[in-house]
Structure 1
Amino acid sequence: MEEKSFLDRMLGHLRETCKYYTGYPKYLGPSRVIHFTSEREFVQLLHQGYPVVVAFTIRGNYTKHLDRVLEEAAAEFYPHVKVLRVECPKYPGFCITRQRKEYPFIEIFHSPEQAANQGRVADPNITKYSVKVLPFNYDQSAYGFREFFKRHGIRSSPDPK
């Protein structure tokens, strides 16, 4: 095994630890992006109390870029923000309820609370919830997510003690 030069070791260390783009892909560890499988699982995710970034996607070239952005954001904000990816052709019912025609788009769901007015409910075991939904229209990068969370007062990191 050949000995690495000081410069090679230094660049290797920089690539592994630097939070900013250095021109090389970063190793982010195992994927933290959750793939949508059912609305029930989505509701359970909301009840954990963390904000949920939901990317509504279809297959395309831009989606490949968005996947890398989501992977980086999920790795950076884990476990304080959950990142969920929905493939709309597989789950059209969930995507159609958002009433958007341009794909991909991102929305952030947070602060689930039991709805004050339950309305007419056929089954008494069903509880309605109210969730704050914010459309994400910032720079699609980990930096953009960080700024968005800051502006809207969403906690994306542990509280300083």
Structure 2
Amino acid sequence: MGEPSYFDRMMSHLRATCKYYTGYPKDLGPSRLIHFTSEREFVQLLHEGYPVVVAFTIRTNLTKHLDKVLEESAAAFYPNVKFMRVECPKYPGFCISRQKNEYPFIEIFHSPVQAASQGRVADPSITKYSVKVLPFNYDQSTYGFREFFKRHGIKYSDPI
């Protein structure tokens, strides 16, 4: 084949350098979105010390868009924030324990706090996490997650 035209070179350069969505699929590299397999894996992920965004979903047209948003956000915040997707029909016990009945919903786990430091006599191996529920009508995008993290003081950069 011959040399690509000026227009083709310009468009490929624009797609490679533009940080705004131009209508073409973004190359996000390997998926950074973690799929839920067990509660043990989830607890291990929490103990790493990073905030964890968990999307509780069922298969609908809305979740197809949410999957794309989660993939893009997981790539943008990697490795400082972990994104996990739970398919509730596969793991009903874990989803029912959240006591929600509208799907999809997103919860953000962050800031481990030792239970013994709260003045109660408790097992020192118990760790409590703050949980924020992302409102359904909130901007579900990478920018929306960043603003939510800022508003609630969730550290989304390197923990020091």
- State the TM-score, normalizing by the size of structure 2: 0.89
Rounded Cα–Cα distance in structure 2 between residues aligned with 1:88 and 1:44: 20
Rounded Cα–Cα distance in structure 2 between residues aligned with 1:60 and 1:99: 20
- Look up the match of 1:24: 24
User: What is the SS of the residue equivalent to 1:64?
Assistant: helix
75-84 or 147-156, which moves further after superposition? 147-156
Task: Kindly state the Cα deviation for residue 59 of structure 1 after the two structures are TM-superposed.
Answer: 0.8
- Look up the match of 1:153: 153
Is 1:100 equivalent to 2:100 in the alignment? yes
- Look up the match of 2:46: 46
Rounded Cα–Cα distance in structure 1 between residues aligned with 2:19 and 2:155: 19
Contact preservation (8 Å) 1:36, 1:42: yes
Q: Amino acid of the residue matched to residue 44 of structure 2?
A: Q
Rounded Cα–Cα distance in structure 1 between residues aligned with 2:7 and 2:15: 12
Rounded Cα–Cα distance in structure 2 between residues aligned with 1:152 and 1:13: 37
User: What is the SS of the residue equivalent to 1:76?
Assistant: helix
Contact preservation (8 Å) 1:118, 1:128: no
Unpaired stretches in structure 1, ≥5 consecutive residues: none
Task: Kindly state the Cα deviation for residue 151 of structure 1 after the two structures are TM-superposed.
Answer: 1.1
Contact preservation (8 Å) 1:81, 1:156: yes
- Look up the match of 2:133: 135
Rounded Cα–Cα distance in structure 2 between residues aligned with 1:146 and 1:68: 16
Q: Amino acid of the residue matched to residue 27 of structure 1?
A: D
- Equivalenced residue count is 154
Task: Kindly state the Cα deviation for residue 10 of structure 1 after the two structures are TM-superposed.
Answer: 2.1
Render the CA deviation track for 1:11-44: whole Å, top value 9, x for unaligned. 2122123221111111111110000011111111
74-83 or 134-143, which moves further after superposition? 134-143
User: What is the SS of the residue equivalent to 2:70?
Assistant: helix
- Look up the match of 2:3: 3
Rounded Cα–Cα distance in structure 2 between residues aligned with 1:87 and 1:147: 26
96-105 or 10-19, which moves further after superposition? 10-19
Unpaired stretches in structure 2, ≥5 consecutive residues: none
Q: Amino acid of the residue matched to residue 134 of structure 1?
A: K
Q: In structure 2, do the counterparts of structure 1 residues 44 and 118 end up closer, same or farther at CA, with 3 Å as the change threshold?
A: farther
User: What is the SS of the residue equivalent to 1:109?
Assistant: strand
The runs of at least 4 consecutive aligned structure 1 residues that moved more than 4 Å come to none
